[in-house]
Structure 1
């Protein structure tokens, strides 16, 4: 059972937009040294929507190789096409990853029955453990707790990343799901409260820039030490908030570059680097959170 601070890892690129594998290797080492619980490779923060399938697979394979068994790796394997998600799941089966993170299909707005059939088909196509990912603010579809409960009956669907930021949703999920079904927050701003109210961890954007602090916050929250957890949460709140001034991962890539964790903040089009008007705000958030002097 993976609990605590799981990083939704950025995918570093060179000035031409090609994958910077040396920087990727250094990021993996950085998170191992920081005691991050696990790495999500090529989730949506890793620009899964704009990487080719070939690049997607290469990045996951390299992260597994760089990790060398020292930290669990979860691979983004979602798509708005069920057949594509199945193909990725099959590719990653027996690759050494701990699970696949499977975002709800975006743009085509399936019904709840469509979501159920989508995930059922993926899970039944392979033995890879699957973590559902619900982020209606990005996908225009909300997977309801009743649908999650139906899917939880499928043996290799083991958890959900719930990114609504709605703590009432957590209560609904807990009432419907078995105790061993993993509940991860996908919203840094409410992640601490999510864990204090019974969640198992956070799949985090902020962990890219504050891994040590996020590990500590999650440890305290999972132990029920609310005062200590909330103190760290308050320290990081400016970062939680301002890393979403523009569409993720635009601000977090800029922040990683500002902290010297990656050489630059290049993204693949149609995403562009953080607007100049927001750069000072993100920089000040890093300073306020004591991540940058």
Structure 2
């Protein structure tokens, strides 16, 4: 897979309002079409934001296959989440993703088990045998395990399929070192921000994009943030980062992902349904705070003197 860069959306899984909260395939197709015309370069279905722990095997396959089929006539790359704390299960889903036609996969560090570095290395070596390009997903706040620089480099050396990292540990010193060390590899290696609010700092130390939660409602904003940096229009990228920072931070503070982003999407008329238990909706107080930050961001991004065209949600009602 060629070196990927830009804004990648960590897509929500839309559900119907029935008792089973069944997957809303029609809405899923709508969302993919929305991203295809909004500058998004790739879609991650069935990641954390896609509520992968609550999806059955059949539902996981439905979401991934629907996403791939809907994106077939577009330039979107599809990178399903295939990780698990069971190596056998992670291998099975990675094999299935390859069979369905995915371009790569996002594999979270095995969680809960708290494996040793040796166990993590063996885990990814098994996944490497599948041959599908792998993006590591390091998010210690959820997994209880941090990969660290030395282990990431060892994984890259032992597993040729590993082509990138979604960095969600908030450690800019470590991310900087990973980028620097990756230049010594014999192949391209992409580092993506896993935190929307840290996208610009990570770009500044050599990152190539973001795997974004906020892009579910503002894909053009996140795309322009990365694109303007690549064009070396640094005042533009700095402005967008500063204008969106409060909203991006509020998404993280208002509840467990994806409850806040789904609440905003539903408010804006995207009708993606609620979250499955054990995740619940956010409180009225937190929703009000989120909407306040959205209003502030919207006012800044639509100021007459700002040369950003068509960056907000097309046809959606703002608060």
TM-score (structure 1 length as normaliser): 0.96
In structure 1, the partner of 2:309 is none
In structure 2, the partner of 1:207 is 215
Answering whether residue 109 of structure 2 is matched by residue 109 of structure 1, we say no
Answering whether residue 159 of structure 2 is matched by residue 152 of structure 1, we say no
In structure 2, the partner of 1:23 is 27
In structure 1, the partner of 2:230 is 222
Say whether the 8 Å CA contact 2:52–2:60 is kept in structure 1: yes
1:7 alignment partner, SS class: strand
Say whether the 8 Å CA contact 2:134–2:162 is kept in structure 1: yes
Answering whether residue 40 of structure 2 is matched by residue 36 of structure 1, we say yes
In structure 2, the partner of 1:163 is 168
Q: Choose the corresponding residue for 1:7, options 4, 9, 26.
A: 9
Distance (Å, rounded) in 2 between the aligned partners of 1:12 and 1:185: 24
Alignment of 1:39-54 (within 5 A): 39-54=43-58
Answering whether residue 258 of structure 2 is matched by residue 256 of structure 1, we say no
Say whether the 8 Å CA contact 2:11–2:47 is kept in structure 1: yes
2:80 alignment partner, SS class: strand
1:213 alignment partner, SS class: helix
Distance (Å, rounded) in 1 between the aligned partners of 2:231 and 2:57: 40
Distance (Å, rounded) in 2 between the aligned partners of 1:251 and 1:197: 29
Q: Structure 1 pair 187/249, CA: closer, same or farther in 2 (3 Å)?
A: same
Deviation sequence 1:19-69 (CA, Å, 0-9, x none): 111111110011011011111011110001111111011100000111114
In structure 2, the partner of 1:74 is 79
1:101 alignment partner, SS class: strand
Say whether the 8 Å CA contact 2:27–2:272 is kept in structure 1: no
Distance (Å, rounded) in 1 between the aligned partners of 2:58 and 2:99: 18
User: Could you tell me how far 1:175 is from its partner in structure 2?
Assistant: 2.9
Which sections of structure 1, spanning at least 5 residues, go unmatched? none
Query: How much is the aligned-residue C-alpha RMSD, in angstroms?
Result: 1.3
In structure 2, the partner of 1:194 is 202
User: Could you tell me how far 1:223 is from its partner in structure 2?
Assistant: 3.3
User: Could you tell me how far 1:176 is from its partner in structure 2?
Assistant: 2.1
1:229 alignment partner, SS class: helix
Deviation sequence 1:132-161 (CA, Å, 0-9, x none): 100001111100111111111222111111
Distance (Å, rounded) in 1 between the aligned partners of 2:257 and 2:230: 26
Say whether the 8 Å CA contact 2:135–2:163 is kept in structure 1: yes
Deviation sequence 1:250-277 (CA, Å, 0-9, x none): 100111111112x254111101112222
TM-score (structure 2 length as normaliser): 0.88
Q: Once superposed, which parts of structure 1, at least 4 consecutive aligned residues long, lie more than 3 Å away?
A: none
Say whether the 8 Å CA contact 1:254–1:274 is kept in structure 2: yes
Distance (Å, rounded) in 2 between the aligned partners of 1:29 and 1:191: 24
When Rg is computed on C-alpha atoms for both structures, the one with the higher figure is 2
Count of residues paired in the alignment: 291
